[in-house]
Structure 1
Amino acid sequence: MPPVPPQRPPTIDAPAAARWNRLAPPSGSPWLHEEIGRRMEDRLQWIKSRPRHWADWSPLRGGLEAHELVARRYRDATAYVIETEPSLVAPTTKALSAPWWTARRWQGGQPLFDAPPEDGVDLLWANMALHMAADPGALIGQWHKRVATDGFLMFSCFGPDTLQELRALHERLGWPPASHQFTDMHDWGDMLVGAGFAEPVMDMERIVLTWTSADAALAELRSLGRNLHPARFPALRGKRWRQALCAALPELAQAEEGGGKIALTFEIIYGHAFKPAPRVALSSESAVSLREMRTMLQRGRPGA
C-alpha cells in the first residue's frame, strides 16, 4: 500500500480548532485580517475574468470591510455568504445587512445567505481561514465543490514564519509551543492540485507588527486566533506566568526599526487557483457526478 501522506498542518488539535471556529469575534473582524483582505482584493485587478456570482467564506472573521471591497469591485455580480458554523450565521447576517436608506446598501448590493448555485460560483473568496483548519485538505475539497468550472479560488492564510519570535521565546524559556505549526505555500499549492484545482499561483510577504506594551500585543494576538498545538499548556495559566511573559516580551523589540517596541513577524500567504473542466479517466466502469456529467456534455466527450 502507498504511504499515507502526512496531515498538514500536523500540529492542530481538532477539538480546539472546532471550538475556536464557533466563536464570534467580540469586536468585529480583526484589523490584520482586514488589512490582508485589502491587499488580496488589490490582486484581483490582475484577474481579467468578471464573476457573475461570487461567495465569501466566513466573512465575519475573514473581514467585513474586505467583503465590501470585493462587492464594490464586482457590483454587478450576485454575492453569497457561506458560513458553515450555525452559531455565526446570525451575527454575520446582522453585520452585513444595511438599512435601505444607507448608501452602503447600494454600493455593492446585499449579499445572499441562501445556498449558492448548484454549479458553483465564479469566485470563492476565503480570507484567513485555512491556517486554523484541523483538516485543511477537507476544507480545500469543500472549496473545490463550491467553485464553478472555469471559476477561481482566492485565499490567504498565515505561513510558517508567523510568530517566529514568540515561538523562539517559548522554546528558550522551556515553555510548551506558543502556536501550532503553519504550512508552507508550496505544500498548499500541492494540496490545491490534489483537490482538482489547476494553475495555482502562490506568493507571500512578511508583515511586522509592533506594540508599545505587552498588554497591547497580547490583546491583538487574542483577536487573531488561538494556540491549537496539541502540546500546548493543558490548563489555564496563572498570574505569575503572565507576569513572566509580559516581562519577557520586550526582549522581542526591534531596537532600530521598531523604536524599541515589541515586534512580531507574520508571514502572509496569498493564493489563487482555477477550477478546470472535469476529466474522467475512461475504464471499463467510470463514475461521475451529475454536475460533472452536465459540464462534460456541454464541452464534449469525457477526457477530450
Structure 2
Amino acid sequence: MNQYTRASPFPAMSSERPPSIDPVAAARWHAAAPAYSPWLHEEVARRMQERLQWLRQAPKSWCHWDAVRGGLQAQALISARYPQARCQVHESAGHCRPVAQQALASPWWNPSRWSAASPRFGMPDDASVQMLWANMALHMAADPQALIGQWQRALAVDGYLMFSCLGPDTLQELHAVYAALGWPPAGQTFTDMHDWGDMLVQAGFAEPVMDMEHIRLTFATPERLLQELRELGCNLHPQRFAALRGRRWREQLHRALAERLADPQHAGRLALTFEVIYGHALKPAPRVRVGPVSSVSLQDMRSILRPEGGKTGARRG
C-alpha cells in the first residue's frame, strides 16, 4: 500500500456540497446497504483508533455512530482502550439496528451487562457524550452539513468528534476507464478535506484538524474488484447511466478493467486508489452575542455556567 498524510489550513469552501450526489439514490443506498462492514472500513477504523493516543483525556462516554457499517471490530478496539467509558450505539439505518444489538448486546447472564462497558442503543441525547466516533459514513450522505450538525448536538462541551470518509482521489483509475470509453461518470465526486474543515467550523466545531492518506488496494480479477466496490457503496452521481446494463457491457467492462488497471508493480493485479480523510474537532463552549435583547438556550446556559473543574477537554499531545 502506498500512503502519505498531510495537514493543511482551510481555504474557501466550494459552492456545491456535496459536489454530485443524487439524494434519492443516497437515501435508497442508506436503507439497503449490506449490514456488515467491508474490509476497507475496518482497516480505516483500525488506523483511526490509533489516533486516539493523541488525546490527553479519555472520554467518560462515547457514541459509535453507525457501527455495523463503520466497523464492529473498531467497537472492540475502542471499548478495550476505554473500558470504563459508557457507550451509546446509534444505527441510523433501520435494517442495521437488530444486527448491532445482536452483535454487541451482552446476554442477560453476563456480568458485563451491568458494567459501564455494556453499550446502550439509540440516538444519543443532546450534549450526552464526550466522543462521537463516525467511520466512513460522511461521504455517502446527501446532506452532510445536517449530519455534522447531529453529531455536534450529541456532543457535550469540550467533547470531540472523530470521523473518516473518502476523498476526491478515490477510484481515480476507475473514473479514467469510464471517461476513456465515453461512459457516464463511474461515481459521485467526493468532497475535499478542506471543505470538510469549513463545514465543521460552520456547524460550531473548533480546532478542526484534517489529514489524509492514499490506500492502494489490488485485486486478482475484475469480478473481485467489482464485488468489493458493491460492498463499499454505489454510484450516486445524478448523471449516472439510468437504465439497466447488458451482458455485453459487463464483458466490455471486465476487459477494460483487466487491461487498464493491471499494475506491473503488483504482478499485474488490478489496482485502485482510495483517498481516506480523517477529521478531528472539538465542541467549544457556546458564545453569547451581546445585544439589546439576547436569547440563550437552556442547554447553552448550563454549559456557560458550568464550573471549570467539570471540563473534559481533549487536545493533541
Match of 1:15 among 18, 21, 24: 24
Q: What CA distance in whole angstroms lies between the structure 1 residues aligned with 2:112 and 2:277?
A: 30
Find the counterpart in structure 1 of residue 286 from structure 2: 278
Find the counterpart in structure 1 of residue 5 from structure 2: none
C-alpha displacement at 1:281, in angstroms?
1.1
C-alpha displacement at 1:24, in angstroms?
4.4
Q: What CA distance in whole angstroms lies between the structure 1 residues aligned with 2:29 and 2:284?
A: 33
Q: Are the counterparts in 1 of residues 126 and 155 from structure 2 also a CA contact under 8 Å?
A: no
Greater mean alpha carbon deviation, residues 108-117 or residues 40-49 = 108-117
Find the counterpart in structure 1 of residue 9 from structure 2: none
Question: Residue 105 and residue 33 in structure 1: after superposition, are their counterparts in 2 closer, same or farther (change >3 A)?
Answer: farther
Q: What CA distance in whole angstroms lies between the structure 2 residues aligned with 1:88 and 1:285?
A: 46
Q: Are the counterparts in 2 of residues 30 and 224 from structure 1 also a CA contact under 8 Å?
A: yes
C-alpha displacement at 1:72, in angstroms?
1.0
Q: Deviations over 1:168-195 (max 9, x none)?
A: 1101101010010001111101110111
C-alpha displacement at 1:5, in angstroms?
6.8
Match of 2:275 among 267, 279, 295: 267
**Is the aligned partner of 1:222 residue 2:265?**
no
Q: Deviations over 1:259-279 (max 9, x none)?
A: 101100000000100010000
Find the counterpart in structure 2 of residue 41 from structure 1: 49
C-alpha displacement at 1:151, in angstroms?
0.4
Q: Are the counterparts in 2 of residues 68 and 108 from structure 1 also a CA contact under 8 Å?
A: no
Find the counterpart in structure 2 of residue 80 from structure 1: 88
1:229-268 aligned at under 5 Å gives the runs 229-268=237-276
Q: What CA distance in whole angstroms lies between the structure 2 residues aligned with 1:221 and 1:115?
A: 29
What is the CA RMSD across the aligned residues, in angstroms? 2.2
Match of 1:139 among 134, 144, 147: 147
Greater mean alpha carbon deviation, residues 17-26 or residues 225-234 = 17-26
User: Structure 1: 5+ residue runs without aligned partners?
Assistant: none
**What percent of counterpart residues are identical?**
56
Q: Deviations over 1:226-261 (max 9, x none)?
A: 110000011221111111100100134353322101
Q: Are the counterparts in 1 of residues 158 and 283 from structure 2 also a CA contact under 8 Å?
A: yes
**Which SS does the other structure have where 1:210 is aligned?**
strand
Amino acid at match of 2:59: P
Greater mean alpha carbon deviation, residues 39-48 or residues 105-114 = 105-114
Q: What CA distance in whole angstroms lies between the structure 1 residues aligned with 2:14 and 2:128?
A: 29
Q: What CA distance in whole angstroms lies between the structure 2 residues aligned with 1:255 and 1:107?
A: 50
Amino acid at match of 2:51: R
Between the two proteins, the alignment pairs up a number of residues equal to 296
Q: Are the counterparts in 2 of residues 24 and 91 from structure 1 also a CA contact under 8 Å?
A: no
Question: Residue 189 and residue 291 in structure 1: after superposition, are their counterparts in 2 closer, same or farther (change >3 A)?
Answer: same
Q: Deviations over 1:117-150 (max 9, x none)?
A: 4422100000000000001111111111011100
**Is the aligned partner of 1:152 residue 2:157?**
no
Match of 2:136 among 125, 128, 132: 128
Question: Residue 106 and residue 172 in structure 1: after superposition, are their counterparts in 2 closer, same or farther (change >3 A)?
Answer: farther
**Is the aligned partner of 1:206 residue 2:214?**
yes
